[in-house]
Amino acid sequence: MPSVGAVVPAYNAAPYIEETLLSLCKQSLPLSEIIVVDDASTDNTVDIVLSLAKQYKLIKLERLPVNSGPSAARNHGLALADTEWILFMDADDIAEPHLIEKEFQRLHELEDEFPGQWVLCYTAYTFIDSLGNEITPAFRYKQVYPDEALGYQFIRCNMGPSGVLVKHQDLLDVGGFDVTLRYFEDHDLWLKLAFRGGFVYVDEPLIKRRRHSNNATARLSNAFGAEKKVLSKYPLEIIKVAIYRRRLPWWINASDFVSVLYILEYWENGLAIIKNVVENNPAFAKGFFLLGLYYLHAKLLEKAINCFYKTIELDPYNGAALNNLGTLLALYGKVDNALCLLTKAIELFPNYLDAGNNLKNLKLGRLSFENARFTWRELRPALVSYQEE
């Protein structure tokens, strides 16, 4: 089997890092090395790692003199690693015992069909809280063809670093993580790798990602603008070609491209495309949702309301449309209808912060255009609770 080394950046990770490292040490397909890069922790992270290293010789500790962020720490580990493959793991997450074994099994299956066209492996995952309790169902995706990987990554980052297995040389060739990015640095790396090959997916939750108050991306305000900054690196034509390359109906590719255009604030470009989608496929709920977002952005609120009504008519479980419509109706004084819609959104998505905030303010009689929260993209099947400022 190819050699695999894990790279684990750690900063003040004392509460969780022992459990993380033990989950790596006890893999059914053993790792060759585990490189922990301590990013100038001020707690006893280093003491815990050194203690474990006495028992497990594959654990190696590297210490950075000043706090430099997870991207710099991961790149430092990449430079030191001496293995063919790299497994990324955050210092508070947990790997199931058969993670690496099952990733290579799946890789070998797909190599028979598309030899030499894969650059990384990833799996489904669940979120756990600070005590290790699962707080979401499994986040699952789907296997796509190698040439579709880039298009899907442009739409939405579908994986964090933990549990991602990548060819070491490909990581070095693309320059590793961009240390100038404070957030979405993993999404940026996956995009760079997707230009080189496909992503192998294992449809089993083999990673437990921990969500707690100290997570770097746990605060919503931290992520504002980060996705736009990453996507802005690429010309629109490259993004469009990659998205339309996916083996999906044209109206789905078109609407997904519009979603990216909205993130990049090309609203008028997106309007022209989504109008065509709605005209040619009037039963496509997402088309009306995206048209509603344009009108909401343009403050054409009556048109936005009509579009969100149509979205819910076609898709009663569209949580983002329920929130947006309910909030607009509340602002127009239709409180009973708004309460019904916002309550339904929260019943469908219990961790839905936008809807929860709007419903709370509505019940307190203080919902306004200034504090209303609209949702600017469709929701995932499962939502994670994020901390707020």
pLDDT at 306: 98
Long-range contacts of 223-227 (CB under 8 A, 24+ apart): 223/183, 223/184, 226/181, 226/182, 226/183, 226/184, 227/157, 227/184, 227/187, 227/263
φ/ψ (deg, to 5) at 341: -70, -45
Structural domains counted in the chain: 2
Sheet (strand 118-128) strand order: 59-63, 33-38, 4-10, 85-88, 165-167, 118-128, 198-210, 94-95
Q: Are residues 212 and 93 in the same domain?
A: yes
Q: Are residues 211 and 300 in the same domain?
A: no
Alpha carbon distance 315, 218 (integer Å): 30
Q: How many CA atoms lie within 13 A of 358 on its CB side?
A: 31
pLDDT at 136: 85
Domain boundary among 191, 216, 241: 216
pLDDT at 220: 56
55-67: b or e for each residue (b if 16 or more CB lie within 10 Å)? eeebbbbbebeee
pLDDT at 137: 87
Is 238 part of any domain? no
Assess contact for 216 and 12: CB atoms under 8 A.
Answer: no
Assess contact for 327 and 358: CB atoms under 8 A.
Answer: yes
Q: Are residues 23 and 124 in the same domain?
A: yes
**Plot region of 225 (φ>0 → left; ψ -120 to 50 → alpha; else → beta):** left
pLDDT at 357: 97
CA angle 39, 42, 48 (to 5 degrees): 80
Beta strands in the chain (DSSP E): 4-10, 33-38, 59-63, 85-88, 94-95, 118-128, 165-167, 198-210
pLDDT at 46: 98
Is 10 part of any domain? yes
| Burial of 180 (C-beta count, 10 Å sphere; 0-12/13-18/19+) | exposed
Q: Are residues 117 and 210 in the same domain?
A: yes
Q: Are residues 207 and 78 in the same domain?
A: yes
Domain boundary among 216, 233, 259: 216
Is 46 part of any domain? yes
Crossing angle between the packed helical segments 319-331 and 285-297, to the nearest 10 degrees:
40
Domain boundary among 199, 216, 233: 216
Tell me the three state secondary structure of residue 143.
coil
Supply the CATH number for residue 290's domain. 1.25.40.10
Q: Are residues 8 and 146 in the same domain?
A: yes
Is 272 part of any domain? no
Is 68 part of any domain? yes
* Beta-sheet pairing, 94-95 with 85-88: unpaired
CB atoms within 10 A of CB 250: 12
Q: Are residues 353 and 210 in the same domain?
A: no
Q: Are residues 198 and 295 in the same domain?
A: no
Is 208 part of any domain? yes
pLDDT in tens, the chain (389 residues): 789 999 999 999 999 999 999 999 999 999 999 999 999 999 999 999 999 999 999 999 999 999 999 999 999 999 999 999 999 999 999 999 999 999 999 999 999 999 999 999 999 999 999 999 998 889 999 999 999 999 999 998 778 999 999 999 999 999 999 999 888 999 999 999 999 999 999 999 999 999 865 554 445 556 668 899 999 999 999 999 999 999 999 999 999 999 999 999 999 999 999 999 999 999 999 999 999 999 999 999 999 999 999 999 999 999 999 999 999 999 999 999 999 999 999 999 988 999 999 999 999 999 999 999 999 999 977 544 333 33
Supply the CATH number for residue 60's domain. 3.90.550.10
Range of the domain at 322: 283-363
Is 180 part of any domain? yes
Is 179 part of any domain? yes
Q: Are residues 45 and 121 in the same domain?
A: yes
